[in-house]
Structure 1
């Protein structure tokens, strides 16, 4: 949720660090989850369909889903990693190679 950064313990200042995602994956595996997903997109999150809004109370930005999955893959043994990617602007064969290396 775009406003989840307000929750106590959310660590919004670390959202774009490898440590943040590593901690989340470790916690998910310890919680016996089957898999986690990493969202990718071409645009920043917005509350309007036609373009960006002027809100300042939401965290904006995304990390590359495949790269994030690649970074945290060595930290898990039983957790499935499911990166999503937009193939409109990424060649499917490039994406398949990137995901296959996980």
Structure 2
């Protein structure tokens, strides 16, 4: 009976030692994974810490550029209208507004 108890205790001790060894190995793996995740979090934090300010700044600058683009479009339209008026004025001044254009097949002079 004593031999059975000693044998059972020995088997139980070896089994529990194997379980403890696996738990210890898992703990080391988890510690390495936690360390890697902490390092990754620090790296991303250092990169992204100013991201909200950059995004806000980009939004403000985009709004400013949209406003400038709109104003440039208005100025371009006004310039086109002014050039159309000037072109019509020049055409009136030259007197060619209502007259048909001359044919390019003019008769040449005798000496040409």
What TM-score do you get using the length of structure 1 for normalisation? 0.16
Query: Of Structure 1 and Structure 2, which has the larger fraction of its residues in strand?
Result: 1
Query: Of Structure 1 and Structure 2, which has the larger fraction of its residues in helix?
Result: 2
Using CA pairs below 8 Å that are at least 6 residues apart, which structure has the higher relative contact order? 1
What TM-score do you get using the length of structure 2 for normalisation? 0.15
